[in-house]
Every structure is written in structure tokens, then in C-alpha cells.
Amino acid sequence: MTCSNPFNTTKFNTDLATLDSNLTRTILPQLRAAMTVNGKVTGDLVLMDCYDPYQNACSNSVSYIQKINSHLTSDLGGSGLIVDVFTAFSGATTPNNTICSYTWMCSVFKDFHATRKGYRVVASAFEGEMGY
């Protein structure tokens, strides 16, 4: 993604509505049901929000990631935890000095997935949020 290829806001909003619907009408209710035994919830429902691997190449992507993260929090409601990976990956700071070490974006692969170091940051965020 480069800023010369701007976001299709209409498609983004349509896809975000689909995400909301899938989470609130299907995925989260099924997970809650699977964790409920004899009327009692027997586990923790935990989601992580998204980091923005593209923010150095296209800083206007940050607002879209923040919107997705806001929807994830809203969709989950009070029935679970959101792990704040966005902030753990230095949040909205642009340029984001962690992107190259926490993801493969600056490598020959140009891949948005986390590196080992990035996955350690994600794991630490989970551990800190969950407290166990």
C-alpha cells in the first residue's frame, strides 16, 4: 500500500459493517455459548486490537486502524477484554520507529506480520492486560 493508492472509504465502511455483524451476530455469541456451562461462563473472552504496519508508508491509514479498533471494543462490549496491541506497537506515532523491528515491513518480504520481537510485544500486552 502506498498513499498514491488511497483508501476506498465506501468499501472500508461496508467491510467494517460486515465485521461488526459477523462478530456481534455470529462469532461472539457462539464463543460465549461455548464457554457457558450450566449457565456460568467458564472462561475469558479476549480479543486483541490491530497495529498499523502501513503507517510509515501512509500515515492516513492510522485513522482507519483506530476506527477498526473502536469497533472491536464496541462489538465486544463488556463481555470480554481487549488487549491494546496498537499502543504496544507505539500507537499513532508517525513515523513509527517500532514498525521495522516489530514487523517484516522493512524487510525484503514487505510483510505486515509480526517478527519474533513483535510477537514478544504482543504476548507481553496479553500478559499485562489479562494479569495471569
Q: Where are the beta strands (DSSP E) in the chain?
A: 36-37, 40-41, 46-48, 81-83, 103-104, 111-114
pLDDT 10s digits, 36-68: 999 999 999 999 999 999 999 998 999 999 999
pLDDT 10s digits, 69-123: 999 999 999 899 999 999 999 999 999 999 999 999 999 999 999 999 999 999 9
Give CA angle at 63 (51, 45), nearest 5°.
45
Contact 50, 92 (CB under 8 A): no
Distance CA 73, CA 1 (A): 26
What is the value of pTM for the model shown? Answer: 0.92
For 77-92, b/e burial (b = at least 16 CB within 10 A) is eeebbbbbbbebbbbe
pLDDT at 3 over 80: no
Contact 82, 72 (CB under 8 A): yes
Q: Which amino acid is at 96?
A: N
Ranges of each domain in the chain: 9-130
Distance CA 96, CA 109 (A): 19
Nearest CA among 89, 84, 94 for reference residue 63: 94
Return the DSSP state at 131.
-
